[in-house]
């Protein structure tokens, strides 16, 4: 216990001797932890949003206006049983489609009176967003004249609703990549700053280290104060970042209940586990910086 207390005192004394580099290292860990604290929920939110968008991608199969109930049943059976990559099939009758569109645009559809120009429709959900085109292709064949036709003569047309979804997936991917690169650069900067801080401590105490070695001090006895110094800087930076994240949560997110509900998801990490993960990350960054410095610059 006395040895641990000695190591801790030496680490704190070393931090006091080099306040500017120690503060720079602490701030680097703080900023890195803040970015990680935002990055982890942001990535989960982006993944969830992208998954929701992918789940909404559909292939609309429009029947011809003269299709009978038998034709509808035949096409539905084909979609459900003989078409690959189909996850779900929902039939929307022309009457239901008319009511939906009339609610969205009552003025325009009011002019039509009782005329219903909409066809019966199958809304097909693919098993994967990228397989929508495969479903469309499976419903087509090459006709006698070389022109592409549908496998069933009562299918009028198909449409894949993927353009908007594709844009959203690309945007979320770009956000994840940007935050990931920023987080990675900050982690590297934190490790290098902590390494440099430990190196300065080693340099300022080189005479003392030589004397300790001459009187029989072991390498581990000499190294431990510097290891603890790095861990203290990492823990302090991480704790300050967690306090700031907690304050932001209390003063901003918790006050915007509607926004908080909008951006929260059941599968997102809770604040408690996030704190634990951030503490471990800050300590790991500090340990990496200390280890790098000791391995490269401590020659006793």
Q: Smallest Cα–Cα separation from 63: which of 118, 5, 111?
A: 118
Asked if 114 and 257 sit in the same domain, the reply is no
Asked if 111 and 190 sit in the same domain, the reply is no
Asked if 156 and 210 sit in the same domain, the reply is no
CATH number at residue 106: 3.30.70.3040
Q: Tell me: the pLDDT tens digits for 169-215?
A: 677 677 778 777 877 887 787 777 777 777 776 676 667 666 666 77
Q: Tell me: the pLDDT tens digits for 264-279?
A: 555 566 767 878 888 8
Asked if 119 and 175 sit in the same domain, the reply is no
Domain that holds residue 274: 2-52+166-297
Asked if 69 and 46 sit in the same domain, the reply is no
Q: According to the model, what pLDDT value does residue 296 have? A: 56
Residue 122: pLDDT over 90: yes
End-to-end CA distance of the chain: 25
Residue range 72-98: mean pLDDT, rounded: 90
| The domain boundary residue, chosen from 119, 135, 161 | 161
| The domain boundary residue, chosen from 161, 196, 220 | 161
Q: Tell me: the pLDDT tens digits for 137-169?
A: 899 888 666 688 888 989 998 888 765 566 666
Residue 261: pLDDT over 50: no
Residue 258: pLDDT over 60: no
Kindly report the pTM of this predicted structure.
Answer: 0.57
Domain count, the chain: 2
Q: According to the model, what pLDDT value does residue 251 have? A: 75
| The domain boundary residue, chosen from 134, 161, 188 | 161
């Amino acid at each position: 216990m006395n040895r641990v207390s000695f190591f801790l005192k030496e680490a704190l004394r070393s931090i006091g001797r080099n306040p500017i580099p120690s503060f720079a290292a602490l701030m680097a860990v703080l900023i890195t932890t803040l970015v990680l604290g935002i990055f982890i929920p942001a990535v989960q939110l982006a993944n969830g949003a992208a998954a929701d968008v992918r789940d909404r991608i559909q292939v609309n199969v429009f029947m011809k206006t003269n299709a009978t109930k038998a034709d509808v049943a035949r096409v539905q059976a084909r979609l459900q049983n003989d078409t690959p990559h189909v996850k779900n099939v929902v039939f929307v009758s022309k009457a239901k489609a008319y009511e939906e569109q009339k609610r969205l645009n009552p003025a325009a559809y009011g002019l039509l009176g009782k005329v219903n120009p909409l066809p019966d429709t199958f809304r097909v959900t693919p098993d994967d967003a990228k397989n929508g085109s495969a479903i469309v292709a499976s419903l087509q064949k090459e006709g006698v004249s070389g022109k592409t036709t549908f496998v069933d003569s009562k299918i009028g047309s198909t449409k894949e609703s993927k353009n908007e979804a594709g844009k959203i997936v690309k945007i979320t991917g770009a956000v994840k990549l940007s935050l990931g690169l920023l987080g990675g650069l900050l982690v590297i900067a934190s490790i290098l700053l902590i390494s440099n801080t430990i190196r300065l401590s080693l340099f300022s105490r080189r005479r003392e280290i030589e004397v300790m070695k001459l009187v029989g001090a072991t390498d581990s006895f000499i190294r431990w104060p510097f290891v603890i110094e790095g861990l203290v800087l990492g823990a302090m930076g991480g704790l300050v970042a967690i306090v700031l994240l907690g304050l932001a949560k209390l003063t901003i997110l918790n006050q915007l209940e509607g926004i908080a509900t909008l951006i929260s998801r059941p599968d997102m990490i809770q604040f408690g586990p996030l704190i634990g993960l951030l503490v471990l990350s800050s300590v790991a960054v500090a340990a990496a910086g200390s280890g790098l410095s000791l391995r490269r610059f401590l020659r006793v």
